[in-house]
Amino acid sequence: PGMSLMKHYLQFKDLRAEEYAYLFERARNIKTRFKNYEKYTPLVDRTLAMIFEKASTRTRVSFEAGMYQMGGSVVHLTTGDSQLGRSEPVEDSARVISRMVDIVMIRTYEQTKIEQFAAHSRVPVINGLTNEFHPCQILADLYTWLEHRGTLSAAGVDLSCLKGRVVAWVGDGNNMANTWLQAAEILGFTVHVSTPGGYEVDPVVAGIASSDCYKVFDDPREACRGADLVTTDVWTSMGYEAENEARKKAFALWCVDAAMMAAAKPDALFMHCLPAHRGEEVTADVIDGPQSVVWDEAENRMHVQKALMEYLLLGRIG
Ligand code: CP
Ligand code: NVA
């Protein structure tokens, strides 16, 4: 595609609702082929560079396996074994890397860094997690939600089933929380947010246009009342390890347990982006219980990201 058509995926609001409907339909198609051992290689001769400034299991495996399955190849870079860790300017890294590959995924600290990279990149850039956002994870979570409680069929994806639904967010006002808020604003559901004092979501950081898409609750169990989906995340995100002890104290009551799930709708789903800490943000009976869809969420990272890379590189097909 020409430069003028180039799109990046740096935060959830970089795509519109109808583009999400398209992506979920493509993800369904791509997942079905994968399950049927059917070869699908639209990205032959394309290369993905993955830059990791933080640790990863799911993001690395899903992007790397996904790119190879689509016929492409992957370059894996980390801070420690590239010039990124020796203070080569991010603009220069972007100029150089994007002359040799077709698409770039970055996991880093500040959102401004990925924005700077994108501003100097000749090729699409995907956010694989920043301090502020984790859009690929919410892409997978929404797909998983539709798979379990919505409509996903060859006839198309109807996102109107998410309108008016309630997602309970229990825990830190972090990158996952911010991204849920952007998704709620675009797709028309509401997030019930309960965080300890001092760890609230900041609508400015979340980048939402109004605060209509979320409601704040002091009591996490109240946030879960009537929810269609209950979700949480680690108390201490990557990059905040120095705050671990203080956070353990502050977050003690923000543990998703059976009582919180009982306050939600009887058919509510439980989600967690993983990695999880049983006995901290969630009890083992919840994450390993029948309402939990965490393994589907993890697997779906690969299918939705294959659809995303296909879209960013080839545009709409068919
Ligand atoms: N959920 C997620 O992004 O996991 P990793 O940190 O293992 O990539
Ligand atoms: N909020 C967590 C998510 C990890 C996938 C973090 O940023 O570390």
Q: How many Å apart are CA 194 and CA 175, to the nearest integer?
A: 15
Question: Coil, helix or strand for 193?
Answer: strand
- Shared-domain flag, residues 155 and 274: yes
Nearest CA to ligand 1 atom 7: 57
Exposed (0-12), middle (13-18) or buried (19+): which is 234, by Cβ within 10 Å? buried
- Shared-domain flag, residues 260 and 156: yes
Q: Note the ipTM here.
A: 0.99
Residues contributing to the annotated binding site for carbamoyl phosphate = 56-59, 83, 107, 134-137, 273-274, 301
Domain assignment of residue 171, given as a range: 136-297
Q: Are strands 269-272 and 152-153 parallel, antiparallel or unpaired?
A: unpaired
Residues 6+ apart with CB under 8 A from 302: 61, 62, 63, 65, 66
CA-only gyration radius of the chain, Å:
19
User: Of the bound ligands, which one is closest to the alpha carbon of residue 179?
Assistant: 2
Ligand 1 pocket residue status of 73, Cβ below 6 Å: no
- Shared-domain flag, residues 123 and 176: no
Q: How many Å apart are CA 118 and CA 97, to the nearest integer?
A: 11
Give the per-residue pLDDT at 4: 56
Ligand 2 pocket residue status of 175, Cβ below 6 Å: yes
Give the per-residue pLDDT at 1: 44
- Shared-domain flag, residues 129 and 91: yes
- For residue 240, which atom of ligand 2 is closest to its CA? 8
Asked if residues 75 and 49 have their Cβ atoms less than 8 Å apart, the reply is yes
Of 46, 107, 221, 247, which one is the catalytic site residue? 107
- Shared-domain flag, residues 154 and 270: yes
- Residue listed under structure tokens 């060859």: 154
- Shared-domain flag, residues 19 and 97: yes
Total number of domains constituting the chain = 2
Amino acid at 6: M
Residues contributing to the annotated binding site = 56-59, 83, 107, 134-137, 175, 233, 237-238, 273-274, 301
Give the per-residue pLDDT at 3: 46
Nearest CA to ligand 2 atom 6: 237
- Shared-domain flag, residues 98 and 48: yes
The answer to whether 278 is a known catalytic residue is no
0.90 surpassed by pTM: yes
The answer to whether 107 is a known catalytic residue is yes
- Shared-domain flag, residues 233 and 201: yes
- Shared-domain flag, residues 141 and 284: yes
Task: Give CA separation, 174 vs 145, 169, 239, in Å.
Answer: 21, 10, 12
The CATH number of the domain holding residue 68 is 3.40.50.1370
CA 129 to chain centre: 7
- Shared-domain flag, residues 263 and 304: no
pLDDT tens, per residue, the chain with 318 residues: 444 579 999 999 999 999 999 999 999 999 999 999 999 999 999 999 999 999 999 999 999 999 999 999 999 999 888 998 899 999 999 999 999 999 999 999 999 999 999 999 999 999 999 999 999 999 999 999 999 999 898 888 999 999 999 999 999 999 999 999 999 999 999 999 999 999 999 999 999 999 999 999 999 999 999 999 999 999 999 999 999 999 999 999 999 999 999 999 999 999 999 999 999 999 999 999 999 999 999 999 999 999 999 999 999 997
Q: Supply the DSSP symbol for 129.
A: -
Task: Indicate if the alpha-carbon torsion angle 26, 30, 32, 38 is positive or negative.
Answer: positive
Q: How many helices (H) and strands (E) does the chain have?
A: 12, 11
**Token reading at 282:** 């969630």
**Token reading at 315:** 């545009």
Q: How many Å apart are CA 97 and CA 75, to the nearest integer?
A: 10
Give the tens place of pLDDT for each residue, 126-160.
999 999 999 999 999 999 999 999 989 888 899 99
Identify whether 275 is preceded by a cis peptide bond (ω within 30 of 0): yes
- Shared-domain flag, residues 28 and 117: yes
CA 71 to chain centre: 24
The answer to whether 233 is a known catalytic residue is yes
- Shared-domain flag, residues 268 and 147: yes
Question: How many angstroms separate the first and last alpha carbons of the chain?
Answer: 16
Q: Given ligand 1 and candidates 133, 134, 137, 274, which is best to mutate, with the most ligand atoms within 8 Å of its CB?
A: 274
